[in-house]
């Protein structure tokens, strides 16, 4: 987004007007306003966000989940709660074998053992990095799940995609603020 602002502030626009179109949460285009002779627009610039997205809806091993939660999410109270919970999970594997020479009995205990009793919070409100880093990452609700067969963890999106609208509004506000002079003069229109 900063590159789009720099481009727009450094161009000598003559009499042309420009449109900054926030196409979605990860793409911004800069067009000329409709050219009078051809009634078409020319696209000058396209900015795309290349965020390393978390794999939502998939169980991942605890170690990978902890790393992803620290690397791909804004750190706040919610991430701290989840990290504290997941960091205290241990896998217990216990086998007992009774054998009297005729009959053999095997008892196996496998699963997740928490070092202290805690509730798994749901839903959780997190801010993953999913849009341009220049804006505040939108909050979203997620369902957090633990699987005992691993152990592994998963996050399922639970906001119906509302975060995308918040991201688009945040990007538009970013341009309104950083291109204020050009917007007020009518030289640039920001569409979202």
**What are the pLDDT digits (tens) for 105-137?**
434 444 555 445 566 778 999 999 999 999 999
CB 160 within 8 A of CB 167: no
Of residues 118 and 87, which shows the higher confidence score?
Answer: 87
What tokens does 27 get?
């793409």
Q: What are phi and psi of 136, to 5 degrees?
A: -70, 130
Note the Cα 180 to chain centre separation in Å: 28
CB 18 within 8 A of CB 33: yes
pLDDT at 104: 34
pLDDT at 118: 63
Dump strand ranges (E) for the chain: 18-24, 27-32, 43-48, 60-61, 89-99, 104-114, 124-126, 140-147, 152-157, 188-191
**What are the pLDDT digits (tens) for 136-174?**
999 999 999 988 777 899 999 999 999 999 999 999 999
Q: Which of 147, 108, 142, 105 is nearest to 126 (CA)?
A: 142
Taking the C-alpha atoms of residue 22 and residue 82, their distance in angstroms, rounded to an integer, is 33
CB 109 within 8 A of CB 93: yes
Band (pLDDT 50/70/90 cuts) for residue 95 is very low
pLDDT at 17: 84
Q: 0.75 cut: is pTM over it? A: yes
Dump strand ranges (E) for 118-184: 124-126, 140-147, 152-157
């Amino acid at each position: 987004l900063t590159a789009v602002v720099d481009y727009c502030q450094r161009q000598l626009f003559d009499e042309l007007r420009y449109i900054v179109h926030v196409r979605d949460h990860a793409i911004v285009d800069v067009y000329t306003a409709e050219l009078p002779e051809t009634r078409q627009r020319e696209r000058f610039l396209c900015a795309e966000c290349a965020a390393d997205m978390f794999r939502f809806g998939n169980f991942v091993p605890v170690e990978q989940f902890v790393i992803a939660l620290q690397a791909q999410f804004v750190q706040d109270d919610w991430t701290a709660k989840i990290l504290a919970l997941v960091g205290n999970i241990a896998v217990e594997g216990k086998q007992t074998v009774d054998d009297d020479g005729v009959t053999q009995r095997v008892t196996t205990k496998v699963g997740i053992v928490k070092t202290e009793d805690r509730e798994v919070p749901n839903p959780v409100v997190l801010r993953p990095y999913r849009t341009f880093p220049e804006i505040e990452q939108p909050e979203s609700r997620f369902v957090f799940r633990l699987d005992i067969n691993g152990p592994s963890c998963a996050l399922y999106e639970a906001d119906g995609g509302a975060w995308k609208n918040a991201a688009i509004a945040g990007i538009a506000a970013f341009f309104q603020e950083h291109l204020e002079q050009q917007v007020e003069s009518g030289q640039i229109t920001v569409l979202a």
